[in-house]
Amino acid sequence: MKQSQLFTKTRKEAPKDEVSKNAQLLIKAGFVDKEMAGVYSFLPLGLLVLKKIENIIREEMNRAGGQEVLMTVLQDKATWEKTGRWSDDVVDNWFKTKLKSGAELGLGFTHEEVIAKIMKNFVSSYKDLPFYAYQIQTKFRNEQRAKSGLMRCREFLMKDLYSFSKNKEEHEEFYEKMKDVYMKVFDRLGMGEKTYLTISSGGSFSKYSYEFQTLSEAGEDEVYIVDEEKKIAINKDDFNDEILADFSLNLKESELKKVKSIEVGDIYSLGHRFSEAFNLTYKNKEGKEEFVYMGSYGMSPTRLMGAVVELNSDENGIIWPENIAPFTVHLIVLNSKNETANENIIKTAEKIYKDFQEKEIDVFYDDREKSSFGEKLKDADLIGIPIRILITEKTLKEDSVEVKKRNESESKMVKVADVGSVV
């Protein structure tokens, strides 16, 4: 894409009430726009990143056997009363609204109830199980405070997968597998090294569950590191003697490192809680009715985008990991006042632009004629595309372009003929 055609521009300031680094950078670089606290619109560059994150997640969910669906935002009160989760006393972050008839509706913050109800239509025999359904969908949580930018939103994208198994044993096999699937996603997002499988309370569903916590000063959580090599931690809030005993951990709190972290995913064993509420049963091999054993597996693409920015930036801007960068290459020209030189600069840039596009390399071409060189370089650093290629009168005197990676400080000269080798 040509930068002159993109309708967004970098901005000098983020809104004054924006305190998080991720949202400040994303707003200044033109990736998102803040509608209100915890509610962000995605502009063209931001949507490119978000779709790349979504696609990585989608690929891994499909590979794990997931079938994609799309459930609804609007929620029927009757459905949620079946599990006792309609009441604001039980779930304190509902957004509620009303039909013209006066009937109350909720805006979905999760979908266990809905999917259990849907599956009543499709599950009857043990032969129908196991299976896995997931969606990537907009969720709503009426947060009292929203101060961590894209990491704690009132409106956000969630990937939620639900597993339907015959029994605990079959469930646990998939649950174990999902630990690896999740780590694979975090690896592909460039945050695997810092992400810990974290033992935590199972809330109202089961005794324990697992979170995935990525170490970062920007996190709202804290974890105790149990095993740095195997990347195991315990959520500080749930740390106690019982948890140590249950997981056979011979550890003392005082000896453990406590680190701030971002919760980037969670996986729950739901047991029969929802299948009982909706009478979701199947006939086993002996013809006896049994409840389906469920699990749920959450991960938010928008929160992950915020987390990636928290982990990958410097004082000049964002440093996107290559897998999810809006573009792979930022091709920048410095126009010359010498007409012949300028023609040569543009001809060279257009050729590289075309060649890269033909090779399906995502290239962002800064063809803006009126911007100063300083402005272009500043914008490039803020936007954070992994590879920067500069073309100027000076570089072309050596038949070269200047190549610099966003995450390195040194640049190098590369012959124009060899420019394909830098990607």
Interface residues with its own copies (CB under 8 A) are: 5-9, 11, 30, 33, 35-36, 39-44, 47, 50, 67-76, 95-100, 105, 107, 114, 118-119, 121-123, 127-128, 131, 133, 138, 140, 142-144, 154-155, 164, 370
Judged by beta carbon, residue 146 or residue 334, the one nearer its own copies is 146
Judged by beta carbon, residue 39 or residue 396, the one nearer its own copies is 39
Least distance to its own copies from the beta carbon of 67, Å?
A: 5
Judged by beta carbon, residue 216 or residue 302, the one nearer its own copies is 302
- Residue 107 CA to residue 139 CA, distance in Å, equals 7
- Residue 423 CA to residue 416 CA, distance in Å, equals 13
- Residue 10 CA to residue 28 CA, distance in Å, equals 5
Least distance to its own copies from the beta carbon of 134, Å?
A: 10
Judged by beta carbon, residue 114 or residue 183, the one nearer its own copies is 114
CA angle at 77 for the pair 71 and 81, rounded to the nearest 5°? 105
Judged by beta carbon, residue 141 or residue 406, the one nearer its own copies is 141
Judged by beta carbon, residue 44 or residue 203, the one nearer its own copies is 44
Judged by beta carbon, residue 23 or residue 50, the one nearer its own copies is 50
Chain centroid, CA 97 distance in Å = 28
Kind and range of the H or E element at 263? strand 258-271
Least distance to its own copies from the beta carbon of 174, Å?
A: 14
- Residue 199 CA to residue 310 CA, distance in Å, equals 23
Judged by beta carbon, residue 32 or residue 259, the one nearer its own copies is 32
Least distance to its own copies from the beta carbon of 89, Å?
A: 14
The answer to whether 300 and 262 have CB atoms below 8 angstroms apart is no
The answer to whether 320 and 387 have CB atoms below 8 angstroms apart is no
Judged by beta carbon, residue 155 or residue 221, the one nearer its own copies is 155
Least distance to its own copies from the beta carbon of 294, Å?
A: 13
Give the C-alpha distances (Å, rounded to integers) separating 407 from 230, 365, 385, 411.
27, 19, 10, 11
Q: What is the DSSP letter of 42?
A: E
DSSP string, 287-352: S-EEEPEEEEEEE-HHHHHHHHHHHSEETTEE---GGG-S-SEEEEE---SSHHHHHHHHHHHHHH
Least distance to its own copies from the beta carbon of 167, Å?
A: 18
The answer to whether 49 and 326 have CB atoms below 8 angstroms apart is yes
Judged by beta carbon, residue 95 or residue 208, the one nearer its own copies is 95
Phi, psi (degrees; rounded to nearest 5) at 391: -125, 120
Phi, psi (degrees; rounded to nearest 5) at 82: -60, -30
As a whole number of angstroms, the longest Cα–Cα distance in the chain is 86
Least distance to its own copies from the beta carbon of 178, Å?
A: 17
Least distance to its own copies from the beta carbon of 2, Å?
A: 12
CA angle at 170 for the pair 167 and 172, rounded to the nearest 5°? 105
Least distance to its own copies from the beta carbon of 337, Å?
A: 20
Count of C-beta atoms within a 10 Å radius of residue 337:
7
Least distance to its own copies from the beta carbon of 299, Å?
A: 18
CA angle at 203 for the pair 197 and 204, rounded to the nearest 5°? 145
